[in-house]
């Protein structure tokens, strides 16, 4: 039996009351990781609101959800390796970053969940 793993992010130190405060993605929706600057790493997922990634018509824009992590300068490879190691653990829910609990990061090179963007459905 296949058990899905989930990646959890919280970019809010207070109450979770919006889609940009915290989120949990199934690992199967992870599409890639990309440096956005020398101190940030973007984690891309299939859209929660347009999950199958299909455009309804040829003019539709397929969206992606993006979580941006603040990391130690130029430590992208180390952070990616730590994320992959966490994914290989036996845990079902994997906390990548939680700003409410500053010690809850899967890497010592992650200092914050800078932003969570849950994009709208195709338009």
Chain segment 54-107, per-residue pLDDT in tens: 556 656 666 789 999 999 999 999 999 999 999 999 999 999 999 988 778 999
* Structural domains in the chain (count): 1
Residue 123 lies in a domain: no
Structural domain contains residue 122: no
Higher pLDDT, 112 or 55: 112
Of all residues in the chain, what percent carry a pLDDT higher than 70? Answer: 81
Entry pTM: 0.86
> Judging by DSSP bridges, how do beta strands 93-98 and 30-37 pair with one another?
unpaired
Per the prediction, the chain carries an average pLDDT of 87
CB 118 within 8 A of CB 56: no
Look at residues 119, 23, 41, 118 and name the one whose alpha carbon lies nearest to residue 77.
41
Query: Is the residue at 55 inside a domain?
Result: no
Asked, for residue 67, whether it belongs to a domain, the answer is yes
pLDDT at 18 over 80: no
Examine residue 56 and state whether it is found in any structural domain, yes or no: no
Domain residue limits at 38: 6-50+62-117
- Please state the length of the chain: 123
Task: Note the pLDDT of residue 63.
Answer: 77
């Amino acid at each position: 039996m296949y058990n899905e793993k989930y990646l959890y992010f919280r970019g809010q130190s207070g109450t979770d009351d919006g889609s940009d405060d915290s989120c949990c993605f199934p690992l199967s929706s992870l599409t890639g990781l990309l440096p956005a600057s020398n101190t940030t790493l973007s984690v891309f997922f299939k859209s929660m609101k347009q999950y199958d990634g299909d455009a309804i018509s040829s003019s539709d824009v397929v969206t992606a959800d993006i979580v941006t992590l603040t990391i130690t300068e130029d430590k992208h490879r180390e952070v990616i390796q730590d994320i992959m190691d966490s994914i290989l653990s036996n845990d079902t829910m994997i906390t990548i970053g939680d700003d409410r609990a500053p010690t809850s990061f899967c890497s010592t090179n992650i200092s914050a969940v800078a932003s969570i963007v849950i994009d709208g459905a195709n338009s």
